[in-house]
Amino acid sequence: MPLLGVATINSRYRELAGFANATVHFGDRFNLSFGGRYSGNKQSAVQVSDGVLAGGPNALPKAALAVLVDEGKIGWDDPVIQHMPWFRMYDPWVTREITIRDLLVHRSGLGLGQGDLMFVPRTHLTRKQTVERVAYLKPKTSFRSAYAYDNILYAVAGQLIEEVTGQTWEDFIRARVLRPGGMKNATSDSEERFAKPNRSWPHARLSGPLRGIGPQQTLDERDELGRNGAPAGGLALSADDMAAWLRIQLAHGALPEGKRLFSEKQAMEMWAPVTPMPITPLPDALKPAQPTQQAYALGWQVQDYRGHRIIQHGGGVFGSITRVVLIPDRQVGFAIMMNSEDSGMLLGLTYDLLDHYLDQPDYGWIQKWEDWYQSRLAGGVEFLKQSKASPAQSGPSLALARYAGRYRDPWYGDVVIGSDRKGLTIDFASTPRMAGRLDHWQYDSFVTRFDDPAIEPAYVTFALDADGEITGVTMKAVSKIADFSWDYHDLDLKPVEDKK
């Protein structure tokens, strides 16, 4: 077993939220555990603590489907409507053709993050209501023609598990994956996690001009993403739990006591590349991290790094981010979990550990990735400065009260524009506490000032016909680096006629 030694991390920030690492090598467990605590927070990053991980262990929810495939209750290439006859996509042909595999590999034709506003930042919708609304998501590309990451079809997969088994996704994955897999502290629902006294708390930087700038703030852990989207990776695991999951992956589904969580056949299915992914060019300092090929498998990204096959996935929820990495030819797996959103450090640690296990010299990855992250934030701030400095001194075309009304999008539902003595208000009816005011921007465009500062601001633009009547409303995020889950641009709001 190689010696990891001591890691020293320098950050441009004085305060860091806790983070932990779980590493498995040739089936043995050992840790490179960073942590301490966030200043003023009594929670420490110890090995038994539950850290919220979403998207990082993305293949873990897919293991629930693998269990059902092994039992012969479903097949990866079964049409979804074979098990959920009421399910619909926008296109009837796609409804007939889309398979369980298609739900997981981001080739459905939906756009990046399309539909995420049904559970971001929170929701009134149930999972089944959410799945029913998928029928109104108009595709951006043709079926199986392009890669675009989505979360909403994972909610469909979670609902399918309930339709097949009669158990909720939360109950099934707890009983058939987490507990049999030795993940004794892992939780699949919020109340179970909140009942644990030793758990991580989410943190973010919210006081600057963009999310990611300013001092760390402790977030309200109960103000979380809608549980309708939990099958996309909304689980909480400790470092011990994650190590158990890494062992299972490296053992191709086998458990330490000789039993199996899923078959080796399903393990290979989940690692098999399906959808080619475009490769984003990286700056020169990060070029060694740029793969020459990458594709999406069943809950994993498969790519190359320094001549080795790497199977990995990253992701997060508000206030927590994760990266899970497997190096099959070295029989190594590791996961890094942070209860903050400082992704530069997460990526830096990831590539430092990759180089360690691939016998590469120190490349200074932590500083290089943090420099990239800060440069990205600086670019976003500069874009905001330029846009705020140049709105046209024109409009609005109508008296403010005439913009008030109820507007409806087929998949999201209603957005209500109100009018009072101070001006216009906005309220997203399907989302609790997603409300605030509208300030005039230019022409017939306004900008949101949400009561909750964690909600991404958006431009709201009203379309008028030749008679000055409002025909529709479109939106887009103000920041060019806003997380893709703020898919305001996918809304197509139309006035709702008053039937009184």
**Contact call for residues 188 and 145 (beta carbons, < 8 A):** no
Question: Which of 407, 386, 432 lies closest to 495 in space, CA to CA?
Answer: 407
- The 10 Å Cβ neighbour count of residue 39 is 11
**Contact call for residues 334 and 241 (beta carbons, < 8 A):** no
Backbone angles phi, psi at 384, to 5 degrees: -65, -45
Question: Which of 30, 25, 33, 27 lies closest to 51 in space, CA to CA?
Answer: 33
For residue 241, the surrounding DSSP H or E stretch is helix 239-250
- The 10 Å Cβ neighbour count of residue 83 is 18
Q: Which residue has the tokens 């010696």?
A: 3
pLDDT of residue 56: 46
**Contact call for residues 133 and 411 (beta carbons, < 8 A):** yes
Question: Which of 365, 358, 386 lies closest to 282 in space, CA to CA?
Answer: 365
Q: What are the residues whose beta carbons fall under 8 Å from the beta carbon of 216, sequence distance 6 or more?
A: 13, 15, 16, 17, 38, 39, 203, 204, 205, 340
Q: Which two tokens stand for residue 177?
A: 């994956």
**Contact call for residues 157 and 100 (beta carbons, < 8 A):** yes
Q: Which two tokens stand for residue 304?
A: 């190359």
pLDDT along the chain (500 residues), means of 10: 37 50 61 44 48 58 96 98 98 98 98 97 97 98 98 97 97 96 89 80 88 90 90 86 92 95 97 97 97 97 98 89 93 89 92 95 95 94 86 93 98 98 97 98 97 95 97 96 96 83
Q: How many angstroms separate the CA atoms of 88 and 85, rounded?
A: 8
Q: How many angstroms separate the CA atoms of 38 and 84, rounded?
A: 45
**Contact call for residues 17 and 340 (beta carbons, < 8 A):** yes
Strand pairing partners for 320?
A: 317
For residue 377, the surrounding DSSP H or E stretch is helix 365-388
Strand pairing partners for 437?
A: 425, 449
Fill in the DSSP letter of residue 359.
Answer: T
| Burial (Cβ within 10 Å: 0-12, 13-18, ≥19) of residue 9 | middle
Q: Which two tokens stand for residue 152?
A: 């909403």
**Contact call for residues 463 and 450 (beta carbons, < 8 A):** no
**Contact call for residues 355 and 365 (beta carbons, < 8 A):** yes
- Strands, E assignment, 77-126: none
Q: How many angstroms separate the CA atoms of 149 and 58, rounded?
A: 12
Give the pTM: 0.91
Q: Which two tokens stand for residue 418?
A: 């109100």
Strand pairing partners for 494?
A: 408
Q: What is the DSSP string of 147-178?
A: ----SHHHHHHHHHHHHHHSS-HHHHHIIIII
Reduced to 3 states, what is the DSSP secondary structure of residue 216?
strand
Where do the H-state alpha helices sit in 10-91?
59-70, 80-83
Burial 430-451 (b: 16+ CB within 10 A, else e): bbeebbbbbebbbebbbbbebe
Q: How many angstroms separate the CA atoms of 297 and 62, rounded?
A: 11
- The 10 Å Cβ neighbour count of residue 368 is 19
Q: Which two tokens stand for residue 69?
A: 């495939």
Note if the bond before 121 is cis, omega within 30 degrees: yes
Fill in the DSSP letter of residue 187.
Answer: B
Where do the H-state alpha helices sit in 258-301?
264-271
Q: How many angstroms separate the CA atoms of 111 and 487, rounded?
A: 9
Q: Which two tokens stand for residue 390?
A: 């140049």
